[in-house]
């Protein structure tokens, strides 16, 4: 919901806490980190929205899905204005709720204007409720200014949904006689329209109704007014009296992520040779066995087993409730995963290709990443990201886009190069209550094999591994770059190099990198991503700041070309940095 004072007060939230939220005081709900009514609180079953409006609808889907799986007969209500119904997330959320028959009530508060833009400039359909028909959803139009109609009808619908879970869409016809927010005013509203809706004031009309039925007396009315005024004044006085928040650097940094106490689970001695793709599948399957509340969602992942067959056979073992084919709506599915987390469950979302994450970018970087910092709500979500070039897949199936996320506070980013690491790190990622982007290089899926423990085990995040020991240079890389570096060093045994596989990019093992470079005096950073803005740039800057006095040469970065990724093999080979890495490494050694 967005700025929904009516809902907050009916949940009996103390006015003093709401005033503190307005004023950015500690007794509010976001420790001064978010604006006015941009907050959430599990204490009152209020779910924090984001300013982009649309994503809260998909989050409602996730909470409703959790209720459906738990069979607890609960209903989720989600609110949007008429303006928010133009966002793609609205349509994605309705479609998912319809396909999965989720117990969610979508409430559109149609108040005539999206800030200053009237409805006739926002949509052409006569009623927004009609949009429900296209998704096979029951829809209703209610007089949003009629308190009795609204209460009785919504109560009846909620009771029905509890008995027979399904989505419902309600359009409340109403009007906003104040500004979208106080600063904007209402000069854009015709005076006659304002007068028309003033006559429909729900509070005044309900008061008159109660008087006419002799339910309310003047004395009782005056007492209500006096009591409410006293509560407001007292709440304001208490909020004003509270001291302003004093910035605390430790608190700010420590609240970006939910704390996670890593539990090391040692691997068994029994091993078997697995391909990279098999190790991912096995780690995912054993995590499903370990966490009964874990749900996997993605396109074609159920009976088909996913385009890379990682979830093949999962439906037979875990059922379609936990292994869920999704419509093609990445944004709503990421939002649904957030809703599952709010309801205390875990989620793994498979992007069919990491390129497609752009369609779910907003909820990842603005909702999942920021929720714990804002209102202490973690996002227990892993987004699996099949990525990378070298498989002749062209511009939209080959990107390695980790840098979009390593710079976003609140996200963790994992990028393994070997089956052993992939399985152990995936298990840890699913245990970790924070949002994680888990990159899986497609070219490694079926080309890399390794002895992998058969048991369930974990590996720590933020720990690089040194694959080769040397004195002349430090090679820092990850993903496919690790294999390119190994191939080069195997072909040039005279090169004495530290080879560091980062494994996780956020958090980054700065200590391992810095110690190696201080020892060797030279550093070359290899990434498959294009150069500008990649993680190699940050590592290079870090080394210049931390190791300048130890360096015998400039820090060198090697990356792919500054172009989209081409399809033809000869163009793709030119795009990738493998050959340029050979030249750059040998030149740096001679510096």
pLDDT tier at 4, thresholds 50, 70, 90:
confident
Cβ neighbours for 303, distance < 8 A, ≥ 6 positions apart = 315, 325
The reply to whether omega before 102 is within 30° of 0 (cis) is no
118 located within any domain: yes
204 located within any domain: no
Same structural domain for residues 576 and 477?
yes
At residue 3, the pLDDT reads 65
6 located within any domain: no
For the entire predicted model, the pTM comes to: 0.95
Which has the closest alpha carbon to 99: 123, 147, 65?
65
User: Is the predicted pLDDT of residue 166 greater than 90, yes or no?
Assistant: yes
User: Is the predicted pLDDT of residue 53 greater than 90, yes or no?
Assistant: no
Cβ neighbours for 5, distance < 8 A, ≥ 6 positions apart = 18, 37
| CATH at 574 | 3.40.50.920
Supply the DSSP symbol for 384: E
User: Is the predicted pLDDT of residue 36 greater than 80, yes or no?
Assistant: no
CB atoms within 10 A of CB 263: 9
Which has the closest alpha carbon to 411: 384, 381, 436, 376?
436
DSSP letter for each residue of 99-158: HHT--EEEEEEE-SEETTEEGGGT--SS-GGGHHHHTT-EEEEEETT-HHHHHHHHHHHH
Among candidate residues 16, 397, 441, 483, the one labeled active-site is 397
Same structural domain for residues 445 and 477?
no
78 located within any domain: yes
4 located within any domain: no
What is the pLDDT of the chain when averaged over all its residues?
96
pLDDT tier at 50, thresholds 50, 70, 90:
confident
Is residue 376 within 8 Å of 255, Cβ to Cβ? yes
Look up the domain containing 493 and give its range. 465-589
Same structural domain for residues 444 and 469?
no
Same structural domain for residues 431 and 476?
no
Same structural domain for residues 336 and 387?
yes
Supply the DSSP symbol for 39: -
**Three-state DSSP class for 405?**
helix
Same structural domain for residues 395 and 503?
no
pLDDT tier at 213, thresholds 50, 70, 90:
very high
Write out pLDDT tens, residues 415-472. Answer: 999 999 999 999 999 999 999 999 999 999 999 999 999 999 999 999 999 999 999 9
pLDDT tier at 1, thresholds 50, 70, 90:
low
At residue 167, the pLDDT reads 98
d(CA 385, CA 357): 8
Which among 159, 178, 197 is the end of a domain? 197
| CATH at 73 | 3.40.50.970
Same structural domain for residues 440 and 472?
no
Same structural domain for residues 317 and 444?
yes
CB atoms within 10 A of CB 127: 14
585 located within any domain: yes
Write out pLDDT tens, residues 259-309. Answer: 999 999 999 999 999 999 999 999 999 999 999 999 999 999 999 999 999
At residue 178, the pLDDT reads 87
Domain count, the chain: 3
User: Is the predicted pLDDT of residue 76 greater than 80, yes or no?
Assistant: yes
Same structural domain for residues 496 and 431?
no
At residue 263, the pLDDT reads 94
Q: What is the mean pLDDT of residues 378-392?
A: 96
Is 397 considered catalytic here? yes
Same structural domain for residues 490 and 442?
no
At residue 368, the pLDDT reads 97
At residue 374, the pLDDT reads 94
192 located within any domain: yes
pLDDT tier at 35, thresholds 50, 70, 90:
confident
pLDDT tier at 2, thresholds 50, 70, 90:
low
Same structural domain for residues 297 and 442?
yes
Q: What is the mean pLDDT of residues 484-507?
A: 98
501 located within any domain: yes
Write out pLDDT tens, residues 91-127. Answer: 999 999 999 999 999 999 999 998 899 999 999 999 9
Which among 133, 164, 197 is the end of a domain? 197
Q: Per the structure block, which two tokens stand in for 69?
A: 């799986």
Which among 422, 453, 484 is the end of a domain? 453
pLDDT tier at 181, thresholds 50, 70, 90:
confident
Is residue 140 within 8 Å of 153, Cβ to Cβ? yes
Same structural domain for residues 81 and 192?
yes
């Amino acid at each position: 919901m967005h700025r929904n004072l009516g809902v907050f007060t009916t949940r009996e939230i103390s006015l003093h806490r709401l005033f503190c939220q307005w004023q950015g005081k500690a007794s509010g709900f976001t420790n001064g980190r978010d604006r006015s009514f941009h907050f959430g609180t599990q204490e009152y079953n209020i779910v924090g929205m984001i300013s982009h409006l649309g994503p809260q609808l998909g989050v409602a889907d996730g909470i409703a899905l959790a209720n459906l799986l738990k069979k607890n007969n609960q209903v989720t209500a989600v609110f949007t204005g008429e303006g928010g119904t133009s966002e793609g997330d609205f349509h994605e959320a309705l479609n998912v709720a319809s396909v999965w028959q989720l117990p969610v009530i979508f409430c559109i508060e149609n108040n005539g204007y999206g800030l200053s833009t009237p409805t006739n400039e926002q949509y052409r359909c006569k009623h927004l409720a009609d949009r429900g028909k296209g998704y096979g959803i029951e829809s209703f139009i209610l007089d949003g200014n009629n308190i009795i109609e609204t209460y009785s009808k919504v109560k009846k619908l909620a009771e029905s949904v509890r008995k027979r879970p399904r989505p419902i869409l309600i359009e409340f016809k109403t009007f906003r006689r104040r500004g979208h927010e106080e600063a904007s005013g209402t000069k854009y509203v015709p005076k006659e329209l304002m007068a028309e809706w003033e006559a429909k004031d729900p509070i005044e009309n309900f008061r008159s109704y109660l008087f006419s039925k002799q339910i309310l007396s003047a004395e009782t009315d005056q007492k209500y007014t006096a009591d409410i005024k006293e509560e407001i004044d007292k709440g304001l006085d208490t909020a004003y009296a509270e001291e302003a928040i004093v910035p605390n650097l430790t608190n700010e940094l420590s609240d970006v992520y939910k704390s996670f106490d890593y539990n090391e689970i040692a691997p068994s001695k029994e091993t078997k040779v697995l391909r990279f793709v098999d190790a991912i599948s096995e780690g995912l399957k054993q995590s499903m066995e370990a966490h009964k509340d874990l749900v996997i969602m993605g396109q074609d992942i159920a009976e088909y087993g996913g385009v890379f067959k990682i979830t093949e056979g999962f439906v037979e073992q875990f059922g379609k409730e936990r292994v869920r084919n999704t419509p093609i709506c990445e944004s709503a599915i990421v939002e649904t995963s957030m809703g599952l987390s709010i309801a205390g469950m875990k989620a793994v979302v498979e992007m069919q290709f990491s390129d497609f994450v752009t369609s779910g970018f907003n909820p990842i970087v603005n909702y999942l990443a920021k929720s714990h910092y804002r209102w202490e709500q973690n996002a227990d979500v892993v987004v699996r990201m099949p990525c990378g070039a070298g498989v002749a897949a062209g511009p939209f199936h080959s990107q390695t886009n980790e840098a979009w996320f390593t710079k976003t506070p609140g996200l963790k980013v994992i990028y393994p190069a070997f089956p052993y690491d992939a399985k152990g790190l995936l298990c840890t990622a699913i245990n970790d209550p924070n949002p994680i982007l888990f990159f899986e290089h497609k070219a490694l899926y079926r080309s890399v094999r390794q002895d992998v423990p058969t048991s369930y085990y974990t590996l720590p995040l933020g720990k690089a591994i040194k694959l080769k020991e040397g004195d002349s240079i430090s090679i820092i890389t990850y993903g496919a770059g690790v294999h390119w570096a190994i191939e080069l060093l195997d072909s040039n045994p005279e090169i004495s190099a530290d080879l560091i596989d980062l494994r996780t990019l956020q958090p980054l093992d700065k200590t391992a990198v810095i110690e190696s470079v201080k020892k060797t005096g030279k550093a070359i950073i290899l990434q498959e991503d294009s150069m500008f803005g990649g993680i190699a740039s940050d590592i290079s800057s870090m080394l210049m700041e931390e190791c300048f006095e130890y360096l015998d040469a400039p820090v060198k970065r090697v990356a792919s070309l500054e172009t989209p990724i081409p399809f033809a093999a000869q163009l793709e080979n030119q795009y990738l940095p493998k050959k340029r890495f050979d030249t750059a490494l040998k030149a740096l050694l001679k510096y």
